[in-house]
Amino acid sequence: MIPAKMGRAGRGQRGFTLIEVLIAFAIAAMALGLLFQAASSSGGAAHLAGNYEEAVSRAKSHMALMGRESEIAPGERSGDDGGGFRWRVKITPSAVSQPPPQDAQAPQDPQAPAARLTLFDVEVSVSWTDGGRPHAVVLHTQRLVAQGGAANG
């Protein structure tokens, strides 16, 4: 003969109740949701990092062409770079060196380089829109230009 208390305790320990199963499913669903959210945000971050890398490469290319494709002169230029990227170059004079006064008795060398130099601040920016949000990369440099227009830098 089995006492009544023991019979009830034995029946209660045989399996999970419905509420325990529902709680386990809820916890598993939340964990999977967080896992998928983390995976999708890391994919978005990798995409954004790739766009930044491409924008830096494009900005470096525009900076390398300064003084090679066109004369370095004050002003602002911009254009479409393709692939959703836009570029802008802003050039402003920073400093100008004045040539020293010429000595009338000193012989002048016609091959001597121009004595007047201008230092320009150059800003190259590449921008794009991703997911409705604007992004940009900006690079700064300085270029030294002789009066004749030869660039150095």
Q: Which sign, positive or negative, has the C-alpha torsion 20, 21, 24, 25? A: negative
How many structural domains are present in the chain?
Answer: 1
Q: Which has the minimum average pLDDT: 8-22, 35-49, 89-103?
A: 8-22
- Which residues, listed in sequence order, are joined to residue 120 by a DSSP beta bridge? 93, 143
11 found inside a domain: no
Whether pLDDT at 45 is above 90? no
87 found inside a domain: yes
Mean pLDDT of 86-102: 85
Domain extent at residue 131: 16-99+114-152
26 found inside a domain: yes
Query: DSSP class of residue 53?
Result: H
Whether pLDDT at 39 is above 90? no
Whether pLDDT at 113 is above 60? no
Whether pLDDT at 149 is above 50? no
Mean pLDDT of the chain: 82
Which residues, 6 or more positions from 146, have their beta carbon under 8 angstroms from its beta carbon?
Answer: 113, 114, 116, 117, 152
73 found inside a domain: yes
pLDDT digits (tens, 9 = 90+) for 49-80: 999 999 999 999 999 988 787 788 899 999 99
Res. 43 pLDDT band, cuts 50 70 90: confident
pLDDT at residue 114 in the model? 46
144 found inside a domain: yes
107 found inside a domain: no
pLDDT at residue 42 in the model? 79
Distance, CA of 26 to CA of 34 (rounded, Å): 12
Cα distances (Å, whole numbers) of residue 135 to 33, 46, 55, 127, 130: 29, 15, 10, 6, 7
